[in-house]
Amino acid sequence: MLEEIRGLLILQDRDRRVLSLEKNLAQLPQDEARAKAKLAGDEAALKKAHDEFVAAELKVKKVEMDVQTRKTTIQRLENQQFETKKNEEYNALGHEITRYSKEVDELETKELEAMEEVDVFRKKQSEAEAVLAKTQKIVDEDLVSIKQRHAQMEAQLAEVKAEREKLVANVDEDLLPLYGKLMKSKDAMAIATLKNGQCTGCHVKVIASTAIAVQGEQEVTQCDNCGRILSMDE
Ligand SMILES: [Zn+2]
C-alpha cells in the first residue's frame, strides 16, 4: 500500500471516531430528557392522589363543622326550652331539637364514611409515592450513567483528537485539502478500497486505467466516478 494512503487511512479512522464520539455526545441531552420524562407520569399520578386525599380530608372537616353547628343550635334550643313557661313553645322547641338531633346522627354516619374515604385516599397516596420513589431511583441511576458516559466520551474525544493532531503532521501536506474535502462531501469516507474492480465507496466499476493506476501503487488515484481516493484491497 502507498505510504501516503496508509497514513490517510489511519487519519480517516481517527476522524471517523471523532465524528462518532461527537454524534454520541450530542445524543446525551436527549437521553437525559427521556430519562427525566419517565418521572412525569408518576408525578402526575401522585398529584392526583394527593388532591383526592386533601379533598377527602376537607369533606370530613366540612361534615364535622355541620355537626358542630347543629350541636350548638341544639344547646341553644335546650336553653330556650329550659327557660320557657309555655307548654306549646316547649313542645315546638322539643320538635326542633329532635329534628336537629336526627340530622346530627345522619351527619355523623356521613362523617364515618368520609373518614373511611380519607383512609382509602391516604393509602393511594402512599402507593403513588412508592411508585414515584422507585422510578426516581431508576432515573437517578440513568442520569448518573449518562453523566459517566459523558465524561468517558469527552476523555476519549480529547485523546483521539490529540492522536489525530500527531497523525496529521505525518500526512503529505498536498493531500490534506483533497482529503478534507472528501471527508466532508463523501460521508466521512475519503478513502475507499478497490475490490473486484469496484470502488467500495460508490460501488461503481472503475475504468481500466484507474484500476491499473491503483494496482500500480505509484501515485494517489481517485475513483473516476465518486472521486474518493482508492486504496488496494489488502
Ligand atoms: Zn467511487
Ligand 1 centre and the CA of 185: distance in Å? 12
In terms of domains, do 160 and 189 share one?
A: no
Check residue 172 and give its pLDDT. 87
Q: At what angle do helices 176-185 and 3-83 cross, to 10 degrees?
A: 40
Same domain membership, residue 159 and residue 201: no
**Rounded distance between C-alpha atoms, residue 42 and residue 128, angstroms:** 7
> pLDDT confidence of 24, banded at 50, 70, 90?
very high
Same domain, 89 and 153: yes
User: Is 144 inside a domain boundary?
Assistant: yes
| pLDDT tens column, 208-225 | 999 999 999 999 999 999
- Single out the residue in 123, 146, 169 at which a domain terminates: 169
Q: Does any domain span residue 5?
A: no
Residues lining ion ligand 1 (Cβ < 5 A) are 199, 201-202, 223, 225-226, 228
Residue 15 lies in a domain: no
Asked whether residue 120 falls in the same domain as residue 158, the answer is yes
Average pLDDT on 11-36 reads 96
| DSSP class of 218 | S
Distance from residue 21's CA to the centre of ligand 1 (Å):
26
Residues 29 and 125 in one domain: yes
| Measured distance CA(46)–CA(22) in Å, rounded | 38
Note whether residue 8 is domain-resident.
no
Give residue-wise pLDDT tens across range 83-118. 999 999 999 999 999 999 999 999 999 999 999 999
Rounded distance between C-alpha atoms, residue 189 and residue 13, angstroms: 9
234 pLDDT tier (thresholds 50, 70, 90): confident
Q: How many domains does the chain have?
A: 2
pLDDT band at 1 (very low <50, low <70, confident <90, very high): confident
Q: pLDDT by residue (tens digit) across 142-158?
A: 999 999 999 999 999 99
Domain end: 169, 202, 217, which one? 169
User: Same structural domain for residues 37 and 142?
Assistant: yes
If asked whether residues 38 and 136 sit together in one domain, one would say: yes
What pLDDT is recorded for position 2? 86
What DSSP letter does each residue of 52-71 carry, written as one string?
A: HHHHHHHHHHHHHHHHHHHH
In tens, the pLDDT along 166-207 reads 999 989 899 999 999 999 999 999 999 999 999 999 999 999
In a domain, 220, yes or no: yes
Is 27 in the same domain as 73? yes
Instruction: Compute the distance from residue 182 Cα to the ligand 1 centre, in Å.
Output: 11
Q: Is the pLDDT of residue 231 over 90?
A: yes
pTM of the complete model? 0.72
pLDDT at 233: 81
| Boundary residue ending a domain (145, 169, 193) | 169
Domain hosting 151: range is: 20-169
**What's the CA-to-centroid distance between 72 and ligand 1, angstroms?**
97
